[in-house]
Structure 1
């Protein structure tokens, strides 16, 4: 491309110089020839006037007298009736410029000059025009190279940016080139890089969330299947199979929830549900794990509360808090339900050492963990809570108290057949 730009620019400049240069040469040649001819004509008229004045005054007219009146390198011949012809200078040969004038006494003056002087003048003019044209070509070449580099270098840079995007490096470069068209392409590439970066981040986040969120249901499901495999009691098998089916349904809900959050983390499917059922389900699900660790999990607080949220999402949030207490806490884990204003609150606390002071403000950030864990669980739980219009907070660091705030179901007004809209 660089070579094409330089070639095309030089071709245009050469065409322009050729057209205007030829025209200028023709005009200058004619001008110089006309000027030389006018000079010879003027010389002839001047000599006629001198000869007339001398003849009228009775003075002599000869070559010696007139030699001082004729310009050098010119030839003059004066023909006077009844007198000898007077010649001044050396008569030129070849192509000449000639002028003839007749005086009042009948004399004839002829002035001649060789065309070589005209040719030399035309040559000097052509040399000047040629030098100017050469300078114009050199300037055009330099300008063409500069413009080619100015256009080709950004294109090469943009190609490298596109190649980087294709190789999986979505970092925008934010380079601009002071060329509107190229800057527009750079804007599009940077915007594409940012979109690709967001997509890759979302994919990585989905993979991390999936591995973390699916671990608990799969572990619980495997425990139920182990119970089935080691028992011969048909009633126990049926009970454990029913619980396993419940675990499969929850696993399906987790997968759907993860996919929904991957598309739009703000998307929720909130409904009114019985909060006690979700809390009871989580306690029954985690009690075997706590029993095997020599610990207990209990529930207290206000019964019969209903909240507006996604039951599966609330279960995942509680599971993340309970698992966090199992891994990092100690002693008995307590779930307590209460009401504050128009919100239902579920608190999860334990008797462990609590959250370190330096992690309190950042405990819900991804990759932040007090021990060798992924640091994803609490971040995912917070996102799930916020997707339904709730919030997850750390109320107390030592002992740790995590609280899930959910909107309560609006009660039906007396005397009105229409229930109130849930407070979101």
Structure 2
């Protein structure tokens, strides 16, 4: 493309130079020839006038007297009736430009000039025109190269950007080229890159969240199944199977919740539910794991609390906090419930060293972890809490206290028929 642009631009310039250059050469040649003829005619008239004035004054007319009146490289011949022909200068050979003038006293003046003087002047003019044409060609080539680079380089950049998008690198370049059409293509590619980046981020986030959120229910389910395989007591088998089915239901709820958040993180399914029931379910689920490491998990505080949210999501948030205390904390883990304003609060605390000072509020950022863990548990928990209008905060770093704030006011929505708020 770059070569074609240069060739087309150069071809246009050469055509223009050829058309106007030839016309200019013809015009200048005629102008120079006519100007030379006019000079010779003027010279003949001037000499005739000089000779007339001397004849009228009875003065001598000789070659020596007229030599200073004839321009160099010209030849003059004066014929006066009854006198010898007067010659001034050297008579030119070959083609000449000549002019004849008659005086009032009957004399005849002939002036000749070699045509080579005109040829030399025409040659100088042609040289100047040629140099100007050469400069125009050089300028055209440079301009063509600049324009070709200006158009071809952006296209190369855009092709590389499209190739990077196809190879899985969705970073937008935000590069513009001062060409409206190319800038429009760049805008579209950057917008596509941002959309692809969001899609890839959502997919990776879903994979990370799924691996993290499913680990605990699968571990609990595995423990229940192991209990079944190790006992012959039908009652124990029935009890453990019932608990295993509960874990399966929780797994189903976790998967549905993750898929819902992947489609639209703002979508919630908040309802009014019994907070004590969710807390007791978590205590029953985690007690075996805590007993296995010689620790205890207890609950205290206000009872019979009602909260607004998605029970499965609240269970996942509490599970993340309890698991975090199991992995990073120490001593007894306590779940305390209280009421503040129109909110129900669940606090999770332990007797461990707490959150390092260098982490602080960054504890809820993804990939931030105080130890060798995934660093996404608390981030996922905060997202789940905020999806239904709640919030998760670190109330104290040492000893650690995390608070889950849930609204106790039932959500309202307007019906399509009367526009009046209805409680669900």
| Contact 1:410-1:419 within 8 A present in 2 as well | no
SS of the aligned residue for 1:214 comes to helix
CA distance in 2, matches of 1:411, 1:13: 76
1:221 aligns with 2:232: no
Partner of residue 378, structure 1: 378
Alpha-carbon displacement from aligned partner over 1:117-152 (angstroms, at most 9, x marks no partner): 111111111112222322333343344444444554
Q: Give how far 1:214 is off.
A: 0.5
SS in 1 for 2:339: strand
* 1:361 paired to 2:361: yes
- Per-residue deviation, residues 161-212 of structure 1 (Å, max 9, x unmatched): 4444443344444555565655555555455444444333332222111111
Say whether the 8 Å CA contact 1:410–1:420 is kept in structure 2: no
In the TM superposition, residue 59 of structure 1 has moved relative to its aligned partner by: 4.1
Which residue does the alignment assign to 1:314? 314
**What residue number does 1:278 align with?**
278
Residues 1:401 and 2:395 aligned together: no
Q: Report the equivalent of 1:123.
A: 123
Select between 387-396 and 34-43 the one with higher mean Cα deviation.
387-396
What's the CA shift for 1:217? 1.4
Q: Secondary structure at the match of 2:369?
A: coil
TM-score, normalised via structure 1 length: 0.85
Query: Which ranges of structure 1 fall in alignment gaps of 5 or more residues?
Result: 413-417
Paired residue secondary structure (1:336): strand
Q: Normalising to structure 2: TM-score of the pair? A: 0.85
Q: Which residue of 2 aligns with 1:415?
A: none
Q: Which moved more, 1:257-266 or 1:135-144?
A: 135-144
Structure-to-structure mapping, 1:17-416, within 5 angstroms: 17-61=17-61, 63-81=63-81, 85-175=85-175, 185-234=185-234, 236-410=236-410
Instruction: Please state how far the C-alpha of 1:390 moved relative to its aligned partner.
Output: 0.7
What SS class does the counterpart of residue 364 from structure 2 fall into?
Answer: coil
**1:48 Cα offset (Å):** 2.0
CA RMSD between the two structures:
3.1
Q: 2 CA distance for matches of 1:362 and 1:135?
A: 66
* Inter-CA distance 324–89: structure 2 relative to 1 (3 Å threshold): closer
Q: Compare 33-42 and 149-158 and name the one that shifted more.
A: 149-158
Structure 1 residue 368: Cα displacement: 2.8
Count of paired positions: 417
Query: 1:279 deviation in Å?
Result: 1.8
**1:238 to partner: Cα distance:** 4.5
Conserved 8 A contact 1:325-1:350:
yes
1: CA distance, partners of 2:380 / 2:144: 58
Distance change in 2, residues 1:50/1:394 (3 Å): closer
